[in-house]
Structures are given as C-alpha cells and as structure tokens.
Chain A
C-alpha cells in the first residue's frame, strides 16, 4: 500500500533523487558513538534541532491561548498555566526548552570549534551557524517579555536601555524595539510578532542553509 502510494507520487514527481539527497547517506565511523563513545559530542547538533522542533510545536500550541495585549497577556498565560489541561506542561516545555536549546547549541558550537570543523571548506556553514545562534538569542529575548509579568517587563526595559546606549543609532534602535515612547502595548505586540513570525522565519531559512551545506559537504573527517 505505502509502496503503491510512493510509486504513484514518484511517477509524477520523481522524488527518489530528492529522498536520496535528504536522507540516504552514510554516517562515518568517527562520529558514531556506537563505535567510539567520545563521539557523543557529535550528537549536540542533532539534539539542538530536536529541541528546536519541540520549541516550534509547543510554541504553536501556546499561541492557541496567548493573547498579545497588555491587559490579557498575563491573564491568558495565567489561565494557560493553571486552568488549561496540560497547559502547564506545554508552557513548561517551551520555557525549559528555550534554555535547553541554548545549552545544546553552545555545546554544538564548542564541538565544532574545538574539532576545527569550521575550517575550509566549511567556513560558510560556521557563519550561518553563528547567525542561527544570534537568532536564538533574539528569540530568547523577545520571548521573555511575552508573559508580561514584572520580571519580563523590567528585563526588557533594561535590555532596551542597553541597546539605547549604542552611539548615533541607539535612540532609533530603542524606538524600533519599543514601537513608541515606553515599553508598553506596542512593545508587546511587536515582540510577539518578532518572536512568532520574523525570527522563526529567519531561523527556518538559516536552518535549511545549514543542513543543505552539511549534506553537500559531508561531515568533517576524523582528527
């Protein structure tokens, strides 16, 4: 049955080469923890992606309840956390996943750094990886405001104050981030949009580039 469906699609779209490009490749011995236990350091990249998927899924469920305005943001998070069945679990996954993804990405970055895997011909992939790192930090910063409790509010205020101290363009950055004179209603909707649309869009594009390059170049050889 599955084979029949596959063949039916394959006849029309010729997906076999695509499938080969994506999935059908060998994993060399030196990155396989089954052969060398120390190779577990090569798992961090995959785990970062795994947690990222969890973040995207849990985030999608959170938006079913979250209301991005200053009156209801806190109330909706409160309702989600304490009243909705398993709401606390979904929010917990998103909250702790946000930290875990930073940890995994940090470890992945260190692995790549200390194995010198960023060297030719993989320079571009390293740069894209660092851009993903910055996007993730941006997601962390914008997501922190959304529950709209005191911790969120004052951390954002301080963050924007720091951005303001940049010479010449500081005040423009501040207004761009705040969307107005103060950290308020506009800031919340803005951060919500950035957190849910802008940054994830950029993230997915960069991830695609990251994976495309790793498939094209293969994993770096043993040291």
Chain B
C-alpha cells in the first residue's frame, strides 16, 4: 500500500476518510505514577473509589434531609395579596439586606445595586489579575486575605440580620409562613381522616349565608373588606380569618367583643360603628355556619 500501512497500527484518519494519518513518533503513554514525587495514586480506580465513599456519606445525609424536610410549597401566587412578606432564597439574603442600608438605598440605590456589588464581584472575578504575587499562602498575603475575611464577615452578618428581620416582621404581623401553615392544615386534615394536601379549599368552599343581608353593606362601610378581602375570605397566611363559616368558630357574644374591642392586629370598631350596627353585623356573622 502506498501509505505504508502497518498491521499493528490503529486506523486514524486526518479528517478525510481516504487519507490516513501518519503514525505518531512515540506512544502517548503517560509517565508511570512512581515517577511523581510523594505518595501519589491513580485517579481511577483507587482515588475515585475513596472519593465516591465521601460522596456516598454526603448522599446519605442529603437523602435523610430530603425525607425529613419536604420541600416547601405555599399557596398559589396571588398578585393582589398585599400582606405577603417577600423573601428571596437564603443565599440572596445578604444582598437583599445590604440594599436596605441607608447609603445604598433610595437616592443612592445605584450604589447599592451596581456600585458596591459590582466592585466586590468584579474584584472577585478578576482576583488573579489583582493579586499577582507569587506567594500562595494566605497569611503571607495580608491584604487579599483581610479583604476576603471582611467580605465574609459582612456577608454572614447581613444574612443573619436579614433573617432576624424577617422573623421579627413575622412576629409583628402575626404571620405564619404559608408553607408551614399549609403543612399544618394538611396534617390536621389528615388526622381528621380527610384527603391530605391539596389546595386550601376548606374556607373557599363554604358559601356565605344570607348574601343579601343589609349587614353585608356594613362590612363595606366599616372597611372590613380592606383586610378580610372583597370576598370576605380573609388571608390565611397573614392570620386574617375568613368570614365564611366564622359562626362555627365564634358565638355572637364573642363576635361582639371582637368587633367592639379588636383582637390581635384587628382594631376596635366601636368608634366607627354604632352599637346597633355592631349588633346587626354580628348577628349576621354568627349565622355564618357550615351548612
């Protein structure tokens, strides 16, 4: 053959299957491991098996977490829900909290969204071109190391602060996060032998009794609807009860007391409504029972 084909040669082409590539000058066998300094070992299979053992430990821990803590799911998105406290995922909290600081928000927000994070992340991205010395040990590179430590402390501090802030806000507004609330409801339903999970259908399905009662006008006049919603179904996530079926929870006397004196976050209505109106309203509310 014109190409001088040898029988022990692997068939290699140069990109056109009619032209065979010339045999390499030497075999591409990497040097033996014993020629490296120290106690090195082969990646496959020796080291990879050990690393896989570490991986298995991580995997078991991960699966235990997955089974012990189901992924959260709240209630369907409702853009009109004004009471919901927005919360990003935990690894964005430091940025979220950072933007609440005085000199990087409002008039200076550009500094907060572009300026400082831009410099910080830009410096991180280009770290090899900013820290060009030959020294690799961090304690011999004090400036780089201190900058990194300070950034880490700020990130941890801001994350913690953001989380505490959120918890405080939840307490202040008497709110249970939706995914927890939903899980509790599902558990309660399951204990009662009902279908677990599913959407929060309980409140929604109870019809209003006497929809044409004049008391309905009072709910509009007294601005009940502002918190309890135009459909009077309340807002479970924010701890605002629904009027549908409220007669099952409270008696008329209790309702009079709640409307007159307020309860939790609900204000008193004794200045806004006359005793007769309160009587009329609560009589109607007490009638709201599940059929």
Asked if A and B bind, the verdict is yes
Q: Are B136 and A116 in contact (CB under 8 A)?
A: yes
| Given A26-B33, A43-B51; A165-B110 close (CB under 8 Å) | yes
Most buried by B among A26, A157, A162: A26
Given the contacts A126-B128, A127-B128, A10 and B10 also touching, CB distance less than 8 Å: yes
Chain A min CB distance to B28 (Å): 5
State the interface size on chain A (CB cutoff 8 A).
Answer: 88
A180 to B168, CA, bound (A): 35
B129 nearest CB neighbor, chain A only? A123
B90 in the interface, Cβ–Cβ < 8 Å? Answer: yes
B5 in the interface, Cβ–Cβ < 8 Å?
no
User: How many chain B residues touch the partner (CB < 8 A)?
Assistant: 84
B74 touching A96 by the CB < 8 A rule? no
The one of B39, B44, B127, B179 in contact with A113, judged by C-beta atoms closer than 8 angstroms, is: B127
- For A200, list chain B residues within 8 Å (CB): none
Does any Cβ of B come within 8 Å of A209's Cβ?
no
Does the CB pair B84–A154 fall under 8 Å?
yes
Once A14-B12, A126-B128, A165-B113 are accepted as A-B contacts, the answer to whether A150 and B237 lie under 8 Å apart by CB is yes
Interface presence of B137 (CB below 8 A): yes
Query: Which B residue's beta carbon lies closest to that of A167?
Result: B110
Residues on A with C-beta less than 8 A from B55 are 46-47, 50
Contacts of B186 in A (CB 8 A): 82
Is A78 a contact of B198 with CB atoms below 8 Å?
yes
Instruction: Say yes or no: A50 contacts B58, CB within 8 Å.
Output: yes
Q: Can you name 20 extra interface pairs (CB under 8 A) apart from A151-B84, A155-B86?
A: A14-B10, A24-B42, A24-B44, A43-B54, A46-B55, A51-B58, A77-B73, A89-B63, A99-B91, A115-B138, A119-B128, A126-B127, A127-B125, A127-B128, A137-B91, A151-B86, A152-B77, A154-B86, A165-B110, A166-B114
Chain B contacts to A: CB under 8 angstroms: 10-12, 28-30, 33, 36-44, 46-47, 50-51, 54-55, 58-59, 62-63, 65-67, 69-79, 81, 84-92, 96, 99, 109-110, 113-114, 121, 124-129, 131-138, 141, 145, 148, 152, 177-179, 186, 196-199, 237
